[in-house]
Amino acid sequence: MTTLKILLMTALIVVNMAIFNGNLKFNSNSMVANKVESATEEPTATVIPTATAAYHVEHVIQQRFEKRSDNVRKICNARGNKAASVTKPSELFDVPSIGLLWCPTFKAGSSNWLDLFCKANFNHKIYEDCDISTMRANNPTTRYLSVPADEFKYNKVMKEELGLPFMTVRNPVTRFLSAYRDKWEMARSPSFYKKRYGEEIVRQYRSVDPSFSEEDKEALLAEAGTVILNRQLGSLRHEDVARNPYLNPPGPTFKEFVKWALNGGMDPHIMPYYQSCAPCSIDYNILRLEKLNEESGYLFSVIERSYLNLDFRMSLNVHGKTDDCLLEYFRTISKHDVQLLYNMFFKVDCELYSYPCKDSISKGRQFLARMGKLFIVHPNGSHIYCCKECKTPIAAKKDLLDRCKTLVDGQGFLFSAGYNVKESHVSERIMGAAEEDTNIVRYLSCLKCKAYMGWRYEYCENKEHRYREGQYLLFPGNLCPGK
Ligand SMILES: [Zn+2]
């Protein structure tokens, strides 16, 4: 490769990275996440927009990749290559048009890779319905390697025939939580309620009033199932929801979900990486989700396809606030269960991919201790909005994104950050007449005096409102100017 070529490619990476950093500026939550995730000692790249600096960036990322591979080899050797105790990957996708061999790791950027492969392989029409099952079934240009049951050997011949092997990982603790929130929490995608064991989990692990007979319980479960699958939750009266223990909340709680997982429940979205990718058999290029834009840019330059762009954005449920989430969810399960969960789901992956998982959990617990003492945060900036009742700071003008009219509630202010607010369980809220006005929100109350403030959008059915996801809608009538 000529020096000029290297410079050109690396210049592209710098552009990608600059865009990525630009995104971070608009999402303070992501910045928090970034800070947490980068806790392990890894070489970091400073972005300076010159060709020399670009070369430096590429070099730094290459070192990172080598360091990660070395660590995987070290752990595999130390465990007598049984880190996996599994020597075959469950599935691999060879994409010759791009020159990559992909081991899918769900809830770790897999849909972005799928998008990229679909775009690379299909004409636009087919691309519309391109998903993982299409890729598995009848994809003309992707070789799907459903690996046979006997031991998989990534031998020299395969190495020459197949693309460059790579996989994406993220902090295993965060990934587990993100999978729960995204797929099960309130049966957001209703298909998960039945297909992905949501109903089964609730049936098995929800404690209900002992005066209910078995028939009562089955009837209530059936009723809950109908409501969830037909997305009627938002139109029910509060009393009707409260009356049915299986609708309150509608999906499995984190505690119930963890019980299920500890009792042998498994799903690709929470399956440890080592169990699906055979990291001791295949020498992968390991990308971290937390640095996916710059690292995918590097990967594309290695396979000489720098024109590719993964365009990865942290999706809503991954959205920052990792500390808060860990706190909020892990405090609902016992210390004993945390330890079991760590041993069964996180330990090996955390060692293989050098994630400080124990820190992530204990950070959550420390945060919890602070919250217990009513830890009030003061936002920076000169224009602050406070709780009208108790004058606790709630928002800052610098975070104001938009003013939104909602049909029922009047005008609200949309902020990228909220301070000193407590979030409720997720709840469905229909904002208008059409079904597409359905949103999933968490109601917000003042941490100190519990006054109602508004909500944070988790999900907006209406595509035009998607930008609101993750943001805070506060009502000016509940706020007053403060310092
Ligand atoms: Zn208050």
Q: Render pLDDT for 162-208 as a digit per residue (tens, 0 to 9).
A: 889 999 999 898 899 889 988 888 777 777 877 789 999 999 999 99
- pLDDT score recorded for residue 166: 95
In this prediction, residue 320 has a pLDDT band, given cuts at 50, 70 and 90, of: very low
- Look at residue 473 in the predicted model and tell me its pLDDT: 93
In terms of DSSP bridges, do strands 452-460 and 472-474 run parallel, antiparallel, or are they unpaired? antiparallel
pTM: 0.67
CA-to-CA distance for 405 and 413, rounded, in angstroms? 9
Whether the per-residue pLDDT at 304 is higher than 80: the answer is yes
Region 122-138 average pLDDT:
64
CA of 390 to the centre of ligand 1 (A): 4
Cα-to-centroid distance, 367 and ligand 1 (Å) = 21
The pLDDT of residue 210 is above 80: yes
Mean pLDDT of the chain: 77
Confidence check: pLDDT of 60 > 70: yes
SS3 string of the chain? Answer: CCHHHHHHHHHHHHHHHHHHHHHHHHCHHHHHHHHHHCCCCCCCCCCCCCHHHHHHHHHHHHHHHHHHHHHHHHHHHHCCCCCCCCCCCCEEEEECCCCEEECCCCCCCHHHHHHHHHHHHCCHHHHCCCCHHHHHHCCCCCEEEECCCCCCCCCHHHHHHCCEEEEEECCHHHHHHHHHHHHHCCCCCCHHHHCCCHHHHHHHHCCCCCCCCHHHHHHHHHHHHHHHHCCCHHHCCHHHHHHCHHHCCCCCCHHHHHHHHHCCCCCCCCCCHHHHHCCCCCCCEEEEHHHHHHHHHHHHHHCCCCCCCCCCCCCHHHCCCHHHHHHHHHCCCCHHHHHHHHHHHHHHHHHHCCCCHHHHHHHHHHHHHHHHCCCCCCCCCCCEEEECCCCCEEEEHHHEEEEEEECCCEEEEEECCCCCEEEEEEEEEECCCCHHHEEEEEEEEECCCCCEEEEEEEEECCHHHHHHCCCEEECHHHEEEEC
- Averaging pLDDT over each range in 319-323, 412-416, 455-459, which range is the top one? 412-416
Q: Is the predicted pLDDT of residue 368 greater than 80, yes or no?
A: no
Question: Can you list the domains of the chain with their CATH numbers?
Answer: 3-172+269-308 (no CATH), 186-251 (no CATH), 384-482 (2.170.150.20)
178 C-alpha to ligand 1 centroid (Å): 30
Largest Cα separation within the chain, whole Å, is 78
pLDDT band, very low/low/confident/very high, at 301 (cuts 50, 70, 90)? very high
CA of 448 to the centre of ligand 1 (A): 5
Q: What is the Å distance from ligand 1's center to 58 Cα?
A: 49
Ligand 1: centre distance to CA 468 (Å):
24
- The arithmetic mean of pLDDT across residues 265-269, rounded, is 93
Angle at 437 between CA 435 and CA 440, to 5 degrees: 105
Higher pLDDT, 424 or 396: 396
Going from the Cα of 478 to the center of ligand 1, the distance in angstroms, rounded, reads: 9
Q: Report whether 314 contacts 31 (CB < 8 A).
A: no
Q: 451 CA to middle of ligand 1, Å?
A: 5
Q: According to the model, what pLDDT value does residue 258 have? A: 96
Whole-number Å distance, alpha carbon 4 to ligand 1 midpoint, is: 60
How is residue 142 written in tokens?
């992707």
pLDDT tens-digit map of 330-364: 878 887 888 889 889 998 999 999 988 776 666 65
pLDDT at 17: 38
pLDDT of 157 above 90: no
Report the amino acid identity of residue 372.
Answer: G
Taking only the tens place, the pLDDT of each residue in 10-56 is: 444 443 333 333 332 223 333 333 333 334 456 665 555 555 666 77
Question: Cα of 449 to ligand 1 centre, how many Å?
Answer: 4
- Residue bearing tokens 């799907």: 144
Distance of CA 430 to the CA centre of its chain: 25
Higher pLDDT, 94 or 28: 94
How crowded is the C-beta side of 21, counted as CA atoms within 13 Å?
12
161 compared with 392, residue with greater pLDDT: 392
Say if residue 125's pLDDT is above 70: no
Could you tell me which residue, 149 or 122, shows the higher pLDDT? 122
Q: Which pLDDT value is given to residue 155?
A: 62
Q: Are 433 and 417 in contact (CB under 8 A)?
A: no
Please give the distance, rounded to the nearest whole angstrom, from the Cα atom of residue 166 to the centre of ligand 1: 50
Ligand 1 centroid, distance to 132 Cα (angstroms): 47
236 CA from centroid of ligand 1 (Å):
29
Say what percent of the chain tops pLDDT 90.
28
Q: Which letter, b or e, does each residue of 54-66 get, where b requires 16 or more Cβ atoms within 10 Å of its Cβ? A: bbbbbebbeebbe
218 band by pLDDT with thresholds 50, 70 and 90: very high
Query: For residue 483, how far is its CA from the centre of ligand 1 (angstroms)?
Result: 15
Q: Does pLDDT of 141 surpass 80? A: no
The band of 284, judged by pLDDT with boundaries at 50, 70 and 90, is very high
Q: Specify the pLDDT at position 162.
A: 83
> 56-70, 154-168, 370-384: lowest mean pLDDT where?
370-384
Q: What's the CA-to-centroid distance between 421 and ligand 1, angstroms?
A: 9
More confident residue, 51 or 439: 439
- Residues around the ion ligand 1 (C-beta < 5 A): 387, 389-390, 392, 446, 448-449, 451
Residue 318 Cα to ligand 1 midpoint, Å, equals 28
Name the more confident of 324 and 93.
93
Centre of ligand 1 from the C-alpha of residue 398, in Å: 21
CA of 426 to the centre of ligand 1 (A): 21
Question: How many angstroms is it from 389 CA to the middle of ligand 1?
Answer: 5
Residue 386 CA to ligand 1 center (angstroms) comes to 8
Q: What is the whole-number distance in angstroms between the Cα of residue 394 and the centre of ligand 1?
A: 9
